Structure formats: structure tokens, C-alpha cells
Amino acid sequence: MKTFKRTPLLSLLIIALVNGCVVPSLYPLYTENELIIDERLEGVWVDNNEGDDDFGLKISKSNPRDSKDSSLSNSADKLYRLEHTDDGETVIFDLFLVKVGNSTYLDFFPNEYPDQEFKNLFGLMHIYPVHTFAKVVIKENELIIQNFDGDYIKKMIEQNRVKISHENISGEILLSASPNELQKFVLKYEDEPKLFEGKSILKRKG
């Protein structure tokens, strides 16, 4: 496994951005005040429509010393480890559970990528170290995840319907807003139905 480094991988970043499935951000959605723990999040989660070896999420509490987020201090104990497997290839993420308003979100940040073939699409979207976010509902044996719709947010920015700090990279959006600014955006538009993609419903394995 290789650890991510902040290298100028602009061409690969653009590949990830144009996919439109996520909203990449230079900064996290959280400050230490918004991080929470939910024991129900831990476990192995699978999509019943996929083979067990093709796709799955393994979530566990992580050793704070393993985090790639150097800004954490008092809340490092809230760090989760996500092993994200897609097409048989596993990418390791730092994962944080974030409470903003009445909703709960996942904040993903890459930790390790295998020296393989970049078959894991979600991992490819994080080949350059960026945060991405998803809305989540946690049940005892069910995990409901909704990614932010990158294309819709891009359209909102282009139409001046929303003002949020960002960079324009070859026509694609990279958020550069602070955690507080990101939270204000989420609170204002969390009930906008087009802000999120369709639901991914995962079942607990075992």
C-alpha cells in the first residue's frame, strides 16, 4: 500500500472532478465541535446487488496516530477507518461522522491507495487528497448514503444561485470554503432535493 502525498497530480484530479459524482473540497466539513460517534456505523456493509468481493465498506474505529488529518487534537478519538472495496480493489480512508443541524454526514479523506490498477472509482476520485461528503442515515442493520451531486452544485454556482468559495479548474469546481462556510451551505440547502444523488442502501453483513 502507498500513502497519499500532496503531489501535483492535476491531470488525475481533473479526471476525478469531471465524473460529477462527488464534490471535492480542500477542507473538511467538520470542526472538532461537529464530530460525533455512533457505534452502529461500525461493521461490514454490502450492496445486495453486488458480489461480496466486488463492493463493500468495512468501518471500524481507528488509531488516531494513523490519521492523515494533522488538525485533529482533542477529537482524534472520533476517527473511523474505512476500507472501501470496489471491483476487488480496496482503498483506505479516514472517515468522520459529522452532525450539522438535524442531519448527519460522512466526511471522507484518503489515507492509503493500493499499488494496483485504479479500478476503485471512488478511490480514483480521491487520488489527490481532497475531502468529499455524503449524507447518511444509520440504522441498526442498514446504511443509507446520499452523495452530494457535483454537477448540480456546479450548476448552482455557475448560475449565481449560491456563493461559496471555490476554484475553477478547467471548468470544474473544487471547493475551497472553510468548514464554517461549508456548514452554512449545507444548512441552507439540505432540504433541496436535487442537492443529493439517489440513495445507496447498504445492508450489514453477518
15-30: pLDDT as tens digits: 444 445 678 899 999 9
Domain ranges for the chain? 2-67+75-204
pLDDT of 169 higher than 90? no
42-52: pLDDT as tens digits: 999 998 775 55
| 47 within 8 A of 204, measured Cβ to Cβ | no
Rounded to whole angstroms, how far apart are CA atoms 61 and 80? Answer: 4
Task: Provide mean pLDDT across the span 83-108.
Answer: 90
71-86: pLDDT as tens digits: 555 667 899 999 888 7
Task: Provide mean pLDDT across the span 155-176.
Answer: 89
Q: Residue 179: what are its φ and ψ, rounded to 5°?
A: -55, -40
In the structure grid, which three cell numbers stand for residue 157, read together? 454556482
Whole-prediction pTM: 0.83
111-137: pLDDT as tens digits: 876 665 666 556 556 567 889 999 999
Highest mean pLDDT among 3-12, 105-114, 143-152, 168-177: 143-152
Highest mean pLDDT among 17-31, 32-46, 88-102: 32-46
**pLDDT for the residue 5:** 43
In the chain, % of residues over pLDDT 70: 74
Task: Provide mean pLDDT across the span 85-89.
Answer: 79
pLDDT of 6 higher than 50? no
Rounded to whole angstroms, how far apart are CA atoms 41 and 24? Answer: 23
**pLDDT for the residue 171:** 76
Which residues is 94 bridged to in the sheet?
Answer: 81, 109
**pLDDT for the residue 151:** 87
Rounded to whole angstroms, how far apart are CA atoms 41 and 106? Answer: 11
